[in-house]
Amino acid sequence: MSSLLIPIQMRFGDIDSYGHVNNVTVLQYLEDARVRLMARPLPEDAAAATFRSLVGDRQTVIGRQEIEYAEQLLYRPDPVFVRVWVSSVGGSSFVLDYAVQEEDGSRVYAVAQTTVVQIDRGTGRPVRLDEAQRDLLEQWSDAPTRFARRPAPAGARVR
């Protein structure tokens, strides 16, 4: 198991004045996929812990988010799909990658990455991921998203 394909039912209200799904709404689709992934036990053990249950009294927050829109997503009654997977696991954080796409992957509307950081609720300071969390995250690992265009490094001159 490398990734999870999450169906997202579009709503007519997701459309903006330009006639396509608003960019903020696409970020909400990613959030929905992220929350559903974190609440999902591994398929081979439906009684297993979820990532959310392993967080315990800590919490996770978004440290960074990047999205690249590839094609307009227009309203339709059929769901769009968000493929989500883990591309990196660090000390107290991990990176989730996404593709907003057709179920079969024939069209990709956006790709994205989110860095999720585990923190202590009281102090707001990062807390290391434990072994059980790392093992669960590794079950969803796959290669990182390749963005078509990356911003120039800090301090680089833009022409």
CATH no. for residue 130? 3.10.129.10
- Determine, yes or no, domain membership for 77: yes
Residue 4 exposed, middle or buried by CB count within 10 Å (0-12, 13-18, 19+): middle
* Owning domain of residue 131: 4-138
| Domains contained in the chain, number | 1
- Determine, yes or no, domain membership for 158: no
- Determine, yes or no, domain membership for 151: no
**Per residue in 94-113, pLDDT tens?**
999 999 999 999 999 999 99
- Determine, yes or no, domain membership for 145: no
Say what the pLDDT of residue 157 is: 55
pTM surpassing 0.85? yes
**Per residue in 40-65, pLDDT tens?**
876 566 567 888 888 988 999 999 99
CB 51 within 8 A of CB 65: no
Say what the pLDDT of residue 159 is: 47
- Determine, yes or no, domain membership for 27: yes
List % helix, strand, coil for the chain (3-state, nearest 5).
20, 35, 45
- Determine, yes or no, domain membership for 147: no
Q: What percent of the chain has pLDDT over 90?
A: 75
- Determine, yes or no, domain membership for 154: no
Residue 123 exposed, middle or buried by CB count within 10 Å (0-12, 13-18, 19+): exposed
- For 102, which DSSP code? -
Q: Which two tokens stand for residue 92?
A: 């107290």
- Determine, yes or no, domain membership for 156: no
Helices (H) and strands (E) in the chain, counts: 3, 5
